[in-house]
Structure 1
């Protein structure tokens, strides 16, 4: 099983490779894209991208020197006809310098790329919301070599897809960056906090009134307020526990570490650490955590012992008990 880690610099590639990552993914938004389209976003993230061709080339060299591979993310919500042409140029350039694969969300773009690059180099992004065996068969027929599952696919569903459709690799999320809605159905950007932040992190204050006439108070109002408080708590967990870390720098936030033994036995080929725009320290701590747990799973250690080890890494027992922080809450009986 491969650990797939995000990078935004050559230095990160070196550091994460030393920590145990062997597969990397990155975004690339060159100056010519920004100058031509007046947009900093070509892949759903306005930050955390490479900007320089030479630096991207060096990152590819680092990944290969470390015995790994590197993928380029091309998963914007939409591309104009002009942007599709520019995207194909970027894709061709990336593969020409030795890049290994392209992470693509729009199956229409896959069709356009068909005329220019080997489709065996395509990984279908989680943003394509492919979540069953039929979708996996379609991706395989299109020539893709990997399908990345959306965040809310269960362990059982993921393993069933892997067994049902051999010949295409299945990748699942393992750490960081939850999404309140179905990411592939999201038509917004995650703006910086000073511009309002993610639209789904809406900090409005609700006011309730009874339909028709009469005053809303007592137990009904208390239940509504309790529900609002639980929703705010769920949002906090979904958004990486406020992007907090423990004293050792280990990040809290959406996590699937306890599920690693089941994913490994179920034939999942790779597990993804999210967060291209995250600080290097967070990425590094994430790789170390996944590597430590995966090593135990691959050595055949008991699942319960692995779960205890994983939860004690940060430590995160109190967060784990809620089930809100878990990508795969079924391992906790939730």
Structure 2
């Protein structure tokens, strides 16, 4: 079985390092302009240079998103951005707009071009056209089934195929939505989407202005545009057999913890399938799925991939399910604390190879001015030694987390 790339989101420099350290083959990131995640931290040129050096030194590729839809007045800035970024030697630009594609080919012909899912490529003829225009990879529309993906790869085998396998989904066709533009004056196709589809809506009858009629199935309401989250992990064998070259995880605005866990799970799954086969993968699938339920998510769906009729909207709530809190990461013998940890906490330690162990915190020593001080709790942004009620196989980049059993709004 051929080995596809695990492609992870990098919303900022820390998230990029988490993605690289937890097993990504490649990451995708954006500059401060012209990408479709304006609310991600994104990268200055200096940060992008550091990110690319960090990734490349560890054998990981970096793709720069340039996938906003441009207007006439954007092109001077786009050309300047491409000139500056090409000097940093990224592995590809990701584009949606044909004008942007032609600009990248003129200004940086030595850099590969990937066609974004925003271009909503749904057939092999479109893939052939993009190949003729100089693209080396196409990120297919999320509306396709695995048989359709297989046929595209068979008909245009020389073009790499990338498919989203995990993360948030848009209720609009290939994410090309205008709700945000009209309801909050934030342009979704330039990265500033306010997720208006997740809001709670009411009906107003034209002769009764000001009289709001709730849309509801029960007292909690009905979120009629609110999409479930994609999780294609159970379909990984079929996707790889179909010839998919890159498995893409959504989530540049998600947390570093989300990046680490999802990257680890898909890394482990791909390695299992390729080295040990489908039976070994299916044996670990319940454990891997359980890990994906421990990150921020809405109810999962396999989307359109398996071709089955399924309700893709979640009507009860637009809230995320967040059952675990990220407490810290283990580096160089200390825990780098991100959320408060206290003696007596029941915790889990997650290792990068997708193994987790439960324990109880028995003692905490905080590092202050080079000296360890015993304390009953530790707050964020501290380095500490944490002792547990059992011996754990701690490893570099182990993650500490705690079950909290709550949901939180979008």
Q: How would you bin the TM-score normalised by the shorter chain? A: 0.7 to 0.9
User: Residue by residue, what CA displacement relative to the aligned partner does 1:114-138 show, whole Å, maximum 9, x if unpaired?
Assistant: 3212176100000001111011101
Q: 1:217 aligns to what?
A: none
Structure 1 or 2, whichever has the larger Rg, is 2
Q: What's the offset of the Cα at 1:185?
A: 2.9
Q: 1:129-278 maps to which residues of 2 (within 5 A)?
A: 129-187=120-178, 189=180, 197-206=194-203, 226=217, 232=223, 235=226, 237-238=227-228, 253-278=229-254
Quick check: 2:237–2:273 contact (8 Å CA) kept in 1? yes
Distance in 2 between residues matched to 1:168 and 1:203, nearest whole Å? 42
Q: What's the offset of the Cα at 1:292?
A: 2.1
Q: 2:68 aligns to what?
A: 76
Segments of structure 1 that go 5 or more residues without pairing to the other structure are 30-40, 210-223, 239-252
Q: 1:44-59 maps to which residues of 2 (within 5 A)?
A: 44-59=36-51
Residue 163 of structure 2 aligns to a residue in which SS? Answer: strand
Q: Kindly tell me: are residues 254 and 115 of structure 1, through their superposed partners in 2, closer, same or farther at Cα, counting changes over 3 Å?
A: same
User: Residue by residue, what CA displacement relative to the aligned partner does 1:124-156 show, whole Å, maximum 9, x if unpaired?
Assistant: 000001111011101111110000012221111
Q: What's the offset of the Cα at 1:75?
A: 1.2
Structure holding more strand per residue: 2
Distance in 1 between residues matched to 2:50 and 2:179, nearest whole Å? 32
Distance in 2 between residues matched to 1:177 and 1:327, nearest whole Å? 11
Q: 2:260 aligns to what?
A: 284
Quick check: 1:172–1:268 contact (8 Å CA) kept in 2? yes
Distance in 2 between residues matched to 1:306 and 1:230, nearest whole Å? 37
**2:303 is the counterpart of 1:300:** no
User: Residue by residue, what CA displacement relative to the aligned partner does 1:94-120 show, whole Å, maximum 9, x if unpaired?
Assistant: 121121110000012212323212176
Residue 164 of structure 2 aligns to a residue in which SS? Answer: strand
Q: What's the offset of the Cα at 1:329?
A: 5.7
Quick check: 1:146–1:170 contact (8 Å CA) kept in 2? yes
User: Residue by residue, what CA displacement relative to the aligned partner does 1:156-179 show, whole Å, maximum 9, x if unpaired?
Assistant: 111211111011100000110111
Q: 1:80-159 maps to which residues of 2 (within 5 A)?
A: 80-81=72-73, 83-118=74-109, 121-159=112-150
Structure holding more helix per residue: 1
Q: Kindly tell me: are residues 189 and 59 of structure 1, through their superposed partners in 2, closer, same or farther at Cα, counting changes over 3 Å?
A: farther
Quick check: 1:128–1:184 contact (8 Å CA) kept in 2? no
Q: What's the offset of the Cα at 1:199?
A: 2.3
